[in-house]
Amino acid sequence: MLTGSPLYRVSRAGSSVGARPAFGAGRGTSRRLSAVAGAQPAQAQRLMLHVGETTIGLPFTREKAQQLDAALQQLLKTFAEKQAAERPRRWDMMEVAFSGGGIDTLEVFCNPNAHTTAFEAKLLLTLQAGGVSVATEGRLSAIKADVDNYLAAATD
C-alpha cells in the first residue's frame, strides 16, 4: 500500500536503522520494515483505491471525494449519451486533479472515445506523494465503488 509521505528502510533485528552488514554477514537474521518519517494525523481519513491486484491508500477529504464523485457521475452520463447516440462523434475527456493534504497530486483521466461502454472503461490514475510517482489503470466501476464506499463511511 502506498502511503502519504513516509520513507521506509529495511533494518535487521539488533542493528541500527539503515545499517548494512558486510556481504554474506548476518544470514538468517530477521528483517523488519520501519517508518522513519512522517506519520499521518490521527483524524486523516484514507481513500482506498483498488486497482487491479493493488490497493492504494491516500489521505483524502470528503470535499475532494465529492468532487471526484461528481466527475465520475458526469463520465457515466457521457457513456450513457454515447450509447444512445445515433451517429459517432468525439466525446470530451474527463480529467481531474487534486493536491494537498498529504499528497502532491492525484490525477484521474479517462478518454470515453477509447472505450465502448462504461463497463469496459478504465481510468488512468497518477499519484505523486513524497517523491514517489505511481501511474496505473483501474476499472471505472471499481474506482466509482471505492469513492462511494469512502463517502458512505466518511465523516468530517
Percent of the chain with pLDDT strictly greater than 90: 60
Enter the DSSP assignment of 61.
Answer: -
φ and ψ at 70, to 5 degrees? Answer: -65, -40
Alpha-carbon distance 138 to 145, whole Å?
12
Residue 65 pLDDT > 50, yes or no? yes
Band (156; pLDDT cuts 50, 70, 90): low
Tell me which residue has cell 520513507: 7
Using alpha carbons, list the distances in angstroms from residue 113 to 96, 108, 139.
Answer: 17, 16, 15
Q: How far from chain centre, in Å, is Cα 94? A: 17
Predicted pLDDT at 92: 93
Enumerate domains of the chain plus CATH numbers: 1-39 (no CATH), 41-153 (2.30.31)
φ and ψ at 7, to 5 degrees? Answer: -100, 145
Residue 114 pLDDT > 90, yes or no? yes
Alpha-carbon distance 72 to 81, whole Å?
14
Residue 70 pLDDT > 90, yes or no? yes
What's the mean pLDDT in 103-125?
A: 94
Inter-residue contact 20 to 31 (CB < 8 Å): no
Please, what is the average pLDDT of the chain?
78
